[in-house]
Structures are given as structure tokens and as C-alpha cells.
């Protein structure tokens, strides 16, 4: 592609992006395709000769677009959002054009220093105390893996990376059963093993870990000759928003000298609003906190910030040549590849910088407050319908509900049919979960362009289809 073509096709892509965003409401949120449809539509062998861009672009529109789930659709109420504010997309165009590999300060000084600055902006925006520094990871899963590896190394006096786990004391990590599966995977990959992830029972409305049970488990494990290494707490669990009492958990961690990692991948964005910070009171006692600006805040995927109270043990665990006494910003040079599992790194800070400047914190707060209010409003409307039941009350903008059909005694099967029928209709997109072993339908509103009218439409679609399928 020569320079003129590059210019022309980049413009075409930008125009396409703007048109796409403007027409999202006209599209079904989830595509109406069957498994294999797209695969079969793509030539089985790669082309030997160059093809014209017109044809490639036309194929993108004809073959690929109809098979996409539209995550930026204002009526995407499934999973958690993966918001990409248009301004962060613009920043990503620039990042793509420069295509820098930002593993070391010297491989991209501006990327490194902007990362340090924007992470600190976010620290201030979330109300975390001075002294926390951090790094932008690709995902919360990577941040949690890094935290679990750090727990392991601290507990083994830095011998795990060198000697492996054979012959070492049995490591133990503690969490509730409300945490995301990325915690399970971090435990697998770190070699600690699923059997050593101790699930602490939960109580109360927000499904917080029982800290007396947590403490008892740690003491019992020590007495049995095992090696407690760390605790993973969550704020805004994926299923129904389960949230630990961070202050109480941090106190247990402090008393027992354990590393505490807090997963606030989704809910962390809401902490830009001071009135929601009670959900993570005591977070300053954590060693590591992850939150994903790529979920609710609007920074195009991928962008996950891991805050660290003291990066030394983190870098000592991950840096291939541990230079931890000289770096960490204290001598002015940070090589962020020493703070992450992958060596190579994208320039992720630019989109965050564009986003925060173009919107300002106050408008992002308004967006989040609106989402919470609309979600609470929808939960209240459904609760007042005789055939609906709220299964988990709103935690920020997430709640779950169930439809009780008089004509169908198998409520689980009925609700699964309902969620599928809703999604096949294409007007809104929802997902299901299990609460106490029974199916519930999750609802969260968090999409950047969502309006109160979109949430109203969700009420109409849910009640219409539920009664039609009952
Ligand atoms: C609470 C929580 N933690 C972690 C994750 C994993 O996030 P990522 O995709 O950034 O690894 C998710 C994903 O939805 C989540 O909801």
C-alpha cells in the first residue's frame, strides 16, 4: 500500500467508523448467525496474488460485519461493558499508525512517561492515596496473575521462580466464591493449584467474605504446616456484584502478613464518584488493586490499570534482571515490561489521556451516575410487576432478576428460554447467571451512548417477551 492509498483508506476507515457508530441503534445487538457461517464464507486458502482494497473492504462489510456482536450498541446490557468512547478510538488510530513497541523507556520514552502520568491521574480520580503507583496491563487477568505470582514469591522468600514449587511448603490463597474466573486461572498458571485456593463463605447482602472464617482458615492452614500467601478480594463481582469488606479483609491481611490483591475490574470506574467509594473503604490497605478503564470508563479495549502500594515486590517477581533498587521511577526511568508478564507492550496510555482530557472527570461521573440511576429505576419497575422477582439488588448498575411464569413450573428452563428469545430478537442483549444454584438474568447498563430511553426499551422488551413466551 503506497502512501496515497494509506491516506485514502485510513480516511475511508474513519468515515466508516463514524457511520457505524451513528447507525448502531438500527442493528441487532447480537448477530443472527449460526456457528460456522462466517468461517464458511471465507476462502479456504490464502490468496497468491494481491487483491484490490475495494474488494477486501467490500468483503469486510458483507461477510464480517453481519457476524459481529455490537459491543458499542447503546442497548448492550450483557456481561460488563467494553466501552470505547470515540475519542479513545481516535487515539488508537494514532497508536496504530505509530505502531510502537513500548517495552522499555528507551523504546518509547513518551509512552512510558505518559503511562506514569495517566496512571497517577487515575489514582487521584479514584481517590487512592499518594504513594500508590501502577502500570497499565492488557487485562485484569494479567494483573491478577502478576499479583498471584508476587504473593507466591513473597511467601517463598523469592525462591519460587528459581527453584520451582516442588518440595516447597504448600501455598494457600484465600478468596470468596464471588471472584472472577481469572482468579482461578492465575492460581492454575502460578502452579499453586486450584486445591489451594481456599473459598471463604460469604454472608450479607453484598456477598462479602466472612472475615472471621477467613482468619480461622489462615490460622488452621498455618497450624497444618501450610503457607498462607495472599488474599484476593473483589469489589463488584461479575455474577451479581459481590463485594468484600475491604477494610476488614485488609486488617486480616495485615495481621497475618499476607499480600492483598483487590479485583475491582468493573466497579473501579465508579470510584471516580466519591459517593460510591464506600464500596471499597479500606482499599488503601491493599497491596495491589486492578480496575479496567476499558470496561465502564470508555478507554478502548485493552486498558487495565494495576495500582501497587509498593511496586518493589511486584517488580522483583517479574523483572528478568531485577533492577528494583534502582528503578520504580526513583531514578527517572521505568521499564514497564518489568511490571508485566508479556515483554512487548502496546501504547495504551494515549487513549486514556485523550479520554480524560476530551471528557473531563465530571462528565464521566455524570455518565456513571446516570447508569446507576437507570439501573435502579429498571429494577424498581420490574420489582413492581407481579410476575417478576429481583434476585440480586442493584450493585451500582448491575442487578439480576427472574420471571416466574404461572404456566411453566421449570423456572430455570423458562428463564433460559427467555434470555435466548430476548437476545434473538436483537433489540437488547442480556446474559444469565446462577444465584444459589438457580438461573437469574443479569442486567447492567454501562454503555457510553446509552440513554434512559434505551433502558425503557429494555423494560418493554423484557416484559413483552416474558409474557409472550410464558
Ligand atoms: C470482576 C472481574 N474481574 C476480572 C475480569 C477479567 O477482565 P479482563 O478481561 O480484563 O481480564 C472481569 C471480566 O469481566 C471481571 O468482571
What length does the chain have?
A: 470
Q: Are residues 208 and 144 in the same domain?
A: yes
* Count of domains for the chain: 2
Nearest atom (ligand 1) to Cα of 236: 1
Residue 36 sits at φ, ψ, to 5 deg, of 95, -15
The overall average pLDDT reported for the chain is 94
Gap from CA of 368 to ligand 1 centroid (Å): 18
Gap from CA of 103 to ligand 1 centroid (Å): 24
Nearest atom (ligand 1) to Cα of 139: 10
- Is residue 281 included in any domain, yes or no? yes
Gap from CA of 67 to ligand 1 centroid (Å): 24
pLDDT digits (tens, 9 = 90+) for 419-436: 999 999 999 999 999 998
Q: Are residues 306 and 341 in the same domain?
A: yes
Gap from CA of 181 to ligand 1 centroid (Å): 8
Domain boundary pick from 290, 312, 346: 346
- Is residue 54 included in any domain, yes or no? no
Gap from CA of 177 to ligand 1 centroid (Å): 15
Average pLDDT of the residues in 168-184: 93
Q: Are residues 126 and 273 in the same domain?
A: yes
Average pLDDT of the residues in 284-294: 98
**Mutate-to-test residue for ligand 1 from 264, 292, 340, highest number of ligand atoms within 8 A of CB:** 292
Q: Residues 315, 320, 324, 330: is their CA dihedral positive or negative?
A: negative
Q: How confident is the model at residue 383 (pLDDT cuts 50, 70, 90)?
A: very high
* 76, pLDDT greater than 90: yes
* 262-to-122, 202, 285, 435 alpha-carbon distances in Å: 16, 16, 10, 22
Average pLDDT of the residues in 189-194: 96
- Is residue 126 included in any domain, yes or no? yes
Contacts of 386 (CB under 8 A, 6+ apart): none
pLDDT at residue 284 in the model: 97
Q: How confident is the model at residue 330 (pLDDT cuts 50, 70, 90)?
A: low
- Long-range (24+ apart) CB contacts under 8 A made by 33-37 are 33/66, 33/67, 37/67
* 155, pLDDT greater than 70: yes
pLDDT at residue 203 in the model: 83
Q: What is the CATH number of the domain that holds 316?
A: 3.40.640.10
- Give the whole-angstrom CA distance, residue 294 versus residue 65: 22
Q: How confident is the model at residue 205 (pLDDT cuts 50, 70, 90)?
A: low
Q: Are residues 73 and 106 in the same domain?
A: no
Q: How confident is the model at residue 460 (pLDDT cuts 50, 70, 90)?
A: very high
Q: Are residues 262 and 334 in the same domain?
A: yes
Gap from CA of 407 to ligand 1 centroid (Å): 37
- Is residue 61 included in any domain, yes or no? no
With a pLDDT cut of 70, the percent of the chain lying above it is 97
Domain boundary pick from 300, 321, 346: 346
More confident residue, 324 or 470: 470
With a pLDDT cut of 90, the percent of the chain lying above it is 90
Gap from CA of 294 to ligand 1 centroid (Å): 10
Q: Minimum mean pLDDT among 79-93, 98-112, 326-340: which range?
A: 326-340
- Is residue 354 included in any domain, yes or no? no
Average pLDDT of the residues in 280-303: 97
Secondary structure class of 145 (helix, strand, coil)? helix
* 322, pLDDT greater than 70: no
Q: Are residues 255 and 311 in the same domain?
A: yes
How is the beta sheet containing 398-403 ordered, strand by strand? 388-395, 398-403, 438-444, 431-435
Nearest atom (ligand 1) to Cα of 304: 10
**Mutate-to-test residue for ligand 1 from 71, 141, 269, 289, highest number of ligand atoms within 8 A of CB:** 141
pLDDT at residue 325 in the model: 40
Average pLDDT of the residues in 79-95: 97
Gap from CA of 265 to ligand 1 centroid (Å): 6
pLDDT digits (tens, 9 = 90+) for 340-351: 999 999 999 999
Q: Minimum mean pLDDT among 133-147, 172-186, 194-208, 410-424: which range?
A: 194-208
* 469, pLDDT greater than 70: no
Q: What is the CATH number of the domain that holds 382?
A: 3.90.1150.170
- Give the whole-angstrom CA distance, residue 101 versus residue 336: 11
Q: How confident is the model at residue 320 (pLDDT cuts 50, 70, 90)?
A: confident
More confident residue, 407 or 186: 186
- Long-range (24+ apart) CB contacts under 8 A made by 67-72 are 67/31, 67/33, 67/37, 67/38, 68/31, 69/29, 69/30, 69/31, 69/429, 70/24, 70/27, 70/28, 70/29, 70/30, 72/21, 72/24, 72/447, 72/448, 72/449
Q: Are residues 142 and 247 in the same domain?
A: yes
**Mutate-to-test residue for ligand 1 from 182, 262, 279, highest number of ligand atoms within 8 A of CB:** 182
| Protein residue with its CA nearest to atom 7 in ligand 1 | 140
- Is residue 200 included in any domain, yes or no? yes
Nearest atom (ligand 1) to Cα of 234: 1
Pocket, ligand 1, Cβ cutoff 6 A? 80, 139-141, 180, 182, 234, 237-238, 263, 265-266, 292, 304
Q: Are residues 163 and 298 in the same domain?
A: yes
- Is residue 59 included in any domain, yes or no? no
Gap from CA of 139 to ligand 1 centroid (Å): 7
pLDDT digits (tens, 9 = 90+) for 97-118: 999 999 999 899 999 999 999 9
Gap from CA of 179 to ligand 1 centroid (Å): 9
Nearest atom (ligand 1) to Cα of 264: 1
Gap from CA of 80 to ligand 1 centroid (Å): 9
Residue 436's domain spans which residues? 1-44+68-86+360-470
Domain boundary pick from 324, 346, 368: 346
pLDDT at residue 425 in the model: 93
Q: Are residues 121 and 214 in the same domain?
A: yes
Q: How confident is the model at residue 324 (pLDDT cuts 50, 70, 90)?
A: very low
* 73, pLDDT greater than 90: yes
- Is residue 329 included in any domain, yes or no? yes
pLDDT digits (tens, 9 = 90+) for 41-61: 999 999 999 999 999 999 999
Half-sphere exposure of 320 (CA within 13 A, CB side): 9
Nearest one of 296, 345, 297 to 136, comparing CA atoms: 345
Gap from CA of 228 to ligand 1 centroid (Å): 25
| Protein residue with its CA nearest to atom 16 in ligand 1 | 238
* 407, pLDDT greater than 80: no
**Mutate-to-test residue for ligand 1 from 135, 233, 265, 299, highest number of ligand atoms within 8 A of CB:** 265
Q: Are residues 284 and 410 in the same domain?
A: no
**Mutate-to-test residue for ligand 1 from 136, 180, 233, highest number of ligand atoms within 8 A of CB:** 180
Q: For the residues of 148-174, what is the DSSP string, one character each?
A: HHHHHHHHTTT-HHHH-STTSPPEEEE
Nearest one of 317, 348, 330, 296 to 135, comparing CA atoms: 348
Q: What is the pTM of this model?
A: 0.94
Q: Are residues 380 and 322 in the same domain?
A: no
Q: Are residues 110 and 76 in the same domain?
A: no
pLDDT at residue 328 in the model: 55
Amino acid at each position: 500500500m503506497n502512501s496515497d492509498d494509506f491516506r485514502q483508506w485510513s480516511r475511508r476507515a474513519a468515515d466508516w467508523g463514524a457511520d457505524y457508530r451513528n447507525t448502531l441503534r438500527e442493528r441487532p445487538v447480537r448477530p443472527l448467525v449460526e456457528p460456522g457461517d462466517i468461517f464458511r464464507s471465507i476462502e479456504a486458502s490464502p490468496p497468491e496474488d494481491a487483491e484490490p482494497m475495494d474488494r477486501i473492504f467490500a468483503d469486510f462489510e458483507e461477510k464480517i460485519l453481519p457476524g459481529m456482536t455490537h459491543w458499542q450498541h447503546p442497548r448492550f446490557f450483557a456481561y460488563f461493558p467494553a466501552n470505547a468512547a470515540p475519542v479513545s478510538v481516535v487515539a488508537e488510530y494514532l497508536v496504530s499508525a505509530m505502531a510502537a513497541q513500548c517495552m522499555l523507556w528507551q523504546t518509547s520514552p513518551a509512552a512510558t512517561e505518559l503511562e506514569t502520568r495517566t496512571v497517577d491521574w487515575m489514582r487521584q480520580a479514584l481517590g487512592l492515596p499518594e504513594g500508590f503507583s501502577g502500570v497499565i496491563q492488557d487485562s485484569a487477568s494479567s494483573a491478577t496473575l502478576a499479583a498471584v505470582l508476587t504473593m507466591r514469591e513473597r511467601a517463598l522468600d523469592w525462591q519460587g521462580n528459581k527453584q520451582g514449587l516442588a518440595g516447597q511448603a504448600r501455598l494457600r490463597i484465600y478468596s470468596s466464591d464471588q471472584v472472577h474466573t481469572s482468579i482461578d486461572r492465575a492460581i492454575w498458571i502460578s502452579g499453586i493449584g486450584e486445591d489451594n485456593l481456599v473459598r471463604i463463605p460469604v454472608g450479607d447482602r453484598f456477598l462479602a467474605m466472612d472475615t472471621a472464617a477467613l482468619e480461622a482458615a489462615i490460622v488452621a492452614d498455618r497450624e497444618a504446616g501450610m503457607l498462607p500467601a495472599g488474599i484476593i478480594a473483589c469489589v463488584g463481582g461479575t455474577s451479581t456484584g459481590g463485594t468484600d469488606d475491604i477494610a476488614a479483609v485488609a486488617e486480616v491481611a495485615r495481621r497475618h502478613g499476607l499480600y492483598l490483591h483487590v479485583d475491582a475490574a468493573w466497579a473501579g470506574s465508579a470510584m471516580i464518584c466519591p459517593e460510591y467509594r464506600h464500596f471499597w473503604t479500606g482499599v488503601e490497605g491493599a497491596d495491589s488493586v486492578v480496575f479496567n478503564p476499558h470496561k465502564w470508563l470508555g478507554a478502548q479495549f485493552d486498558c487495565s490499570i494495576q495500582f501497587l502500594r509498593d511496586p518493589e515486590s511486584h517488580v522483583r517477581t517479574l523483572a528478568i534482571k531485577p533492577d528494583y533498587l534502582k528503578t520504580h521511577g526513583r531514578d527517572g526511568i521505568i521499564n514497564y515490561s518489568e511490571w508485566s508478564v508479556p515483554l512487548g507492550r502496546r501504547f495504551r496510555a494515549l487513549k486514556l489521556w485523550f479520554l480524560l482530557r476530551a471528557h473531563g472527570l465530571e462528565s464521566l461521573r455524570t455518565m456513571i451516575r446516570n447508569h446507576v440511576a437507570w439501573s435502579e429505576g429498571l429494577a424498581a419497575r420490574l420489582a413492581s410487576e407481579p410476575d417478576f422477582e429481583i434476585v440480586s439488588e442493584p450493585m451500582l448498575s448491575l442487578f439480576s432478576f427472574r420471571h416466574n411464569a404461572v404456566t411453566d413450573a421449570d423456572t430455570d428452563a423458562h428463564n433460559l428460554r427467555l434470555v435466548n428469545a430476548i437476545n434473538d430478537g436483537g433489540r437488547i442483549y442480556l446474559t444469565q447467571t446462577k444465584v444459589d444454584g438457580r438461573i437469574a438474568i443479569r442486567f447492567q447498563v454501562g454503555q457510553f451512548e446509552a440513554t434512559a430511553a434505551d433502558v425503557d426499551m429494555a423494560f418493554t422488551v423484557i416484559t413483552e417477551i416474558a409474557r409472550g413466551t410464558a
